[in-house]
Amino acid sequence: MRILKPEVAKARKEKILRWVVQQYVETRRPVGSQMIADGVLKDVSSATIRNIMAELEQEGYLYQPHTSGGRIPTDKAYRYYVDYLANVQKMAAKEREQIEKQYDARVSEVNNMLVQTSRLLAMLSGAAGFVYTAQVDDQRIQRLDFIPLAPGMMLTVLVTESGAVRHWPVHMAQVISPAKLQVLSRFINDEIAGHTLAEARQILWQYLHSGHRELAGVADVASQVLKDMERPQTGGDELYVEGIGRLLENTSQEDYEDLKQMMRVVEERDRFSSLLNEKMAELDKNNKRLSVSIGSENATPELKNLSIVSTACRVGDKTVGMLGIIGPKHMEYTRVMSLVNYIGSLLEASMNTWNALPLEDEDL
Amino acid sequence: MRILKPEVAKARKEKILRWVVQQYVETRRPVGSQMIADGVLKDVSSATIRNIMAELEQEGYLYQPHTSGGRIPTDKAYRYYVDYLANVQKMAAKEREQIEKQYDARVSEVNNMLVQTSRLLAMLSGAAGFVYTAQVDDQRIQRLDFIPLAPGMMLTVLVTESGAVRHWPVHMAQVISPAKLQVLSRFINDEIAGHTLAEARQILWQYLHSGHRELAGVADVASQVLKDMERPQTGGDELYVEGIGRLLENTSQEDYEDLKQMMRVVEERDRFSSLLNEKMAELDKNNKRLSVSIGSENATPELKNLSIVSTACRVGDKTVGMLGIIGPKHMEYTRVMSLVNYIGSLLEASMNTWNALPLEDEDL
DNA sequence: AACTAGCACTCTAAAAAGGGGGTTGACAAA
DNA sequence: TTTGTCAACCCCCTTTTTAGAGTGCTAGTT
């Protein structure tokens, strides 16, 4: 009689778990003991494996969709797989290079960097890719300008340090002269560049109420602008999702229902963006970058059969957005994780170079 | 034997055709002679109807998916239905009112009018809604401004008369001072407001080459700007598509394949937008507003099982974009057509009020 | 104790078989 | 020109059968 050392037993168990996950991801069929015995544990009989699988089922890593006919991984299994088993491999250098080339080509050729990035994510992952830029409220402002459109109307244009541009029309109570707008714009940009929008409001409010002399002539306009800046949706967030079609293609009809539910969540942008905001906050708290939410780990029950792999984007010390992919629970986590990770770093680099060259004083 | 007057015969034929279309749209099942006899032509036997249907099949309006088991309308039948049989009914006043209320609520509350409009289209039609704004090349410009970001970089912001805003970053060969940008911006806006982008290029080029004195100090910047304005994608088009999820929900699994193909076309924005551009040109040529493309009438074979109902948006005498819905071939054309028509008029009105109040000279 | 072999049982997915319903074409009669 | 009738047809739905894969259990082996 042999007594198995605990480590050996554990290693074998993990090996089986990993194999079940990988096999299931690949074939989309429940995995049986026979298959494992034939495939990866040739020195052990299927009966033994059955016993171990029964244990794994007890512990909540596997379950049988029907009494007899193979087992499939639970969310807990995926989680374990992602955390312990899928060693986050660095991407092959040549693959990295190829991605970078595609990225550069897209970003330089077309102006909308974010859309292009989400498309690239979708293309390379075979799932849907998204890029999200958070509310600009607590991002540092690079410029804030006002473009006169009509006597009672102007366009406010805001540029953050990460290069995000927001613009929105503002109806003014009274007629304002472009000259005044220019004075105000210059004043504001001198004072608030580098501050967040929230701080900017504060600053402007103080100057206004202390009767700052530079603002004397334009107090009326300034107060209008301030009022506009206080509207809740000023500088709202932006969300791009691309490649839903690709997701449809890589998904069999069984998952049709899941996809419909996902679409419902994604198309109600608010739902999805608040989800991402939570993720962002959590990553910040734990000082991590990459987040993987598997099935029921998602806050939204509609996504219980999908997974989201995402990464935070930071400019300076601020998290300004997220990007990632959303796809079926049974995805190639290792590949997708490194992909998201890498493209995230590319986008982050783009955003950071954007404000690498601040305006010099003498230019102003 | 009775001899039927030709008009009567024709009327009956049309009645049957109309009924087949409507019935098929409603039930998604092939329509048989019995059903017609029971439903709408009670004074005629099913055998007679069979004969007439055989004729209709000969003429290419109906076809049988299998030898025995009802007939379904061909694209030609839908076309006939749309052109002659579906009298473009005006929407009921109370429905119009309701739509307008929703439209106003959305457009005033959130700043992105176009996204909101396409969502509304999707919601009310049960299909996917889209709004497209064409290249701004031949739209009249309201404003063209330059925002300095860094010594060698600025953001160009363009506002058309229809209120469309485009912005793109420009890398400058040399360092430019914001002061120069302002001079240039003022000059440009004085000269080109009301002209198209193409004309603006022309004008700027002439001034530059004739050594206009106002441009003397800023010639270097001006030539850079001109160069940028000549890039082909300057002021490209914009396309919003919303409600794909809704389309999924209202579509049975039979059409799964069609939807995937559609997604492929729509997600390759260029494909879809060039399609829309063709439609726009055609509408302009025939001086029409509403366009209905049924199945194989679409230029793209991938859309052979879908229909597009769209309408042109004009500001002044220029067509600046399109909007509409894309959905299954078997849709309620009458309803959708009047819906698209009406929402189109709402958006057009919004765009036209945008520039109702031009800046007065003394303000500049 | 740990593993294996074998067996009876379970369950599914796919194929095969069966029936009901509705349709068609043809033809003869009105 | 229209109608009534009828055999043949074909789809779709349900039921049955079959093959296959997997499981749990038990007794035996190492």
d(CA B327, CA A178): 46
Mean residue pLDDT across chain A: 87
**Could you tell me the two tokens for B10?**
């024709």
* Mean of pLDDT values over A147-166: 88
Give the model's pLDDT for residue B363.
41
Name the closest nucleotide to B57, judged by C1' and CA: C24
Residue B253 has pLDDT above 80, yes or no: no
CB of A313 within 8 A of CB of A348? Answer: yes
Min distance A177 CA to chain B CA atoms (Å): 5
- Percent of chain B scoring above 70 in pLDDT: 93
* Mean of pLDDT values over B18-47: 90
d(CA A54, CA A331): 24
Among A159, A247, A248, most B C-beta atoms within 10 A, so best to mutate, is A248
Which residues are B119's β-sheet partners? none
d(CA B53, CA B238): 45
Give the model's pLDDT for residue B56.
95
List of E strands, chain B: 62-63, 72-73, 128-133, 141-150, 153-160, 165-171, 238-242, 290-294, 306-315, 318-328
Which residues are A150's β-sheet partners? A153
**Could you tell me the two tokens for B89?**
């009914």
Angle at alpha carbon of residue B44, lines to B43 and B45, rounded to 5°: 130
Min distance B312 CA to chain A CA atoms (Å): 24
Residues 6 or more apart in contact with residue B241 via CB below 8 angstroms: B118, B128, B129, B130, B266, B272, B326
Which residues are A238's β-sheet partners? A133
DSSP state of A150: E
The string of DSSP letters for A78-111 reads: HHHIIIIIS--PPPPHHHHHHHHHHHHHHHHHSS
Q: How confident is residue A151, by pLDDT bands cut at 50, 70 and 90?
A: confident
Amino acid letter for position B167? H
d(CA B186, CA B163): 19
**Whether B259 and A266 lie within 8 Å, measured CB to CB:** no
d(CA A163, CA A186): 19
d(CA A312, CA A348): 9
**Whether A169 and B357 lie within 8 Å, measured CB to CB:** no
d(CA A108, CA A17): 44
Residue of A112, A126, A113, A188 lying closest to A157 (CA atoms): A188
DSSP state of A234: T
CB of A32 within 8 A of CB of A50? Answer: no
Higher pLDDT, A327 or A191: A327
Closest residue of A to B110, CA-based? Answer: A233
**Could you tell me the two tokens for A106?**
């897209």
* pTM, two decimal places: 0.90
* Mean of pLDDT values over B152-178: 86
Amino acid letter for position A160? T
Angle at alpha carbon of residue A34, lines to A28 and A39, rounded to 5°: 75
The string of DSSP letters for A270-339 reads: HHHHHHHHHHHHHHHHHT--EEEEEGGGSSSGGGTTEEEEEEEEEETTEEEEEEEEEEESSS-HHHHHHH
Q: What is the pLDDT of residues B89-137, one digit of tens each?
A: 677 889 899 999 999 988 877 668 899 999 999 999 999 999 999 988 8
Alpha-carbon distances of B153 from A63, A353, A363, rounded to whole Å: 58, 12, 12
Among A189, A267, A326, A361, most B C-beta atoms within 10 A, so best to mutate, is A267
Give the model's pLDDT for residue A248.
86
Residue of A262, A341, A254 lying closest to A307 (CA atoms): A262
Q: What is the pLDDT of residues A84-114, one digit of tens each?
A: 876 666 777 888 999 999 999 888 776 688 9
Q: How confident is residue B354, by pLDDT bands cut at 50, 70 and 90?
A: low
Residue A351 has pLDDT above 50, yes or no: yes
**Could you tell me the two tokens for B167?**
């912005």
**Which residues from the 59-88 window of protein chain B have CB within 7 angstroms of nucleic acid chain C?**
64, 67-71
Q: Does strand C come within 7 Å of the CB of A64?
A: no
Q: What is the pLDDT of residues A163-204, one digit of tens each?
A: 889 898 888 877 878 888 888 888 888 888 889 888 988 888
- Percent of chain B scoring above 90 in pLDDT: 49
The string of DSSP letters for A163-223 reads: --EEEEEEE-SS---HHHHHHHHHHHHHHHTTSBHHHHHHHHHHHHHTT-GGGGGGHHHHH
Give the model's pLDDT for residue B3.
56
Residue A179 CB neighbour total at 10 angstroms: 13
Q: What is the pLDDT of residues B97-109, one digit of tens each?
A: 999 999 998 887 7
* Chain B residue numbers touching A233 (CB-CB < 8 A): 110-111
| Residue recorded with tokens 């890029």 | A131
Residue B359 has pLDDT above 80, yes or no: no
Q: Does strand C come within 7 Å of the CB of A66?
A: yes
Give the model's pLDDT for residue A106.
87
d(CA A90, CA A334): 10
Min distance A353 CA to chain B CA atoms (Å): 11
Give the model's pLDDT for residue B224.
84
Torsion on CA atoms A261, A262, A264, A266, rounded to nearest 10:
170
Higher pLDDT, A37 or B61: B61
Give the range among B79-83, B257-261, B308-312 with minimum mean pLDDT: B257-261
- Percent of chain A scoring above 90 in pLDDT: 48
Phi, psi of B239 (to 5 degrees): -135, 125
Residues 6 or more apart in contact with residue B253 via CB below 8 angstroms: A253, A256
Residue of A167, A168, A184, A188 lying closest to A176 (CA atoms): A184
**Could you tell me the two tokens for B364?**
């500049």
Residue of B38, B83, B31, B25 lying closest to B53 (CA atoms): B31
Query: Residue B335 CA to C22 C1' — how many Å?
Result: 31
CB of B184 within 8 A of CB of B220? Answer: no
Q: Does strand D come within 7 Å of the CB of B274?
A: no
Instruction: Tell the burial category of A78 from Cβ atoms under 10 Å away from its Cβ (0-12, 13-18, 19+).
Output: buried
Name the closest nucleotide to B46, judged by C1' and CA: D3
Which residues are A148's β-sheet partners? A154
Residue A1 has pLDDT above 50, yes or no: no
Residue of B238, B233, B329, B316 lying closest to B277 (CA atoms): B238
d(CA B275, CA A268): 27
d(CA A27, CA A17): 15
Residue A3 has pLDDT above 70, yes or no: no
Nucleotides of D under 7 A from a protein CB: 1-5, 8-11, 20-26, 30
DSSP state of A116: H
Give the model's pLDDT for residue B360.
44
Closest residue of B to A363, CA-based? Answer: B177
Nearest CB to B149; choose among A142, A152, A233? A142
Mean residue pLDDT across chain B: 87
Give the model's pLDDT for residue A246.
87
Alpha-carbon distances of B232 from A170, A297, B168, B198, rounded to whole Å: 31, 46, 13, 11
d(CA A307, CA A321): 19
Q: What is the pLDDT of residues A49-76, one digit of tens each?
A: 999 999 999 999 999 988 888 899 999 9
Most confidently modeled range among A315-324, B35-44, B274-283:
B274-283
Nearest CB to A159; choose among B147, B246, B260? B147
DSSP state of B84: I
Torsion on CA atoms A133, A137, A142, A147, rounded to nearest 10:
100
Amino acid letter for position B166? R
Q: How confident is residue B87, by pLDDT bands cut at 50, 70 and 90?
A: low
Alpha-carbon distances of B344 from B76, B96, B237, B315, rounded to whole Å: 26, 12, 18, 12
Residue B21 has pLDDT above 50, yes or no: yes
Closest residue of A to B263, CA-based? Answer: A245
Residue of A164, A153, A151 lying closest to A197 (CA atoms): A164
* Chain B residue numbers touching A149 (CB-CB < 8 A): 142-143, 159, 354-355, 359
Closest residue (CA to C1') to nucleotide D20 in the complex: A69
Which residues are A10's β-sheet partners? none
Q: Does strand D come within 7 Å of the CB of A48?
A: no
DSSP state of B171: E
Residue B355 has pLDDT above 70, yes or no: no
Q: What is the pLDDT of residues B297-331, one digit of tens each?
A: 999 999 999 999 999 999 888 899 999 999 999 99
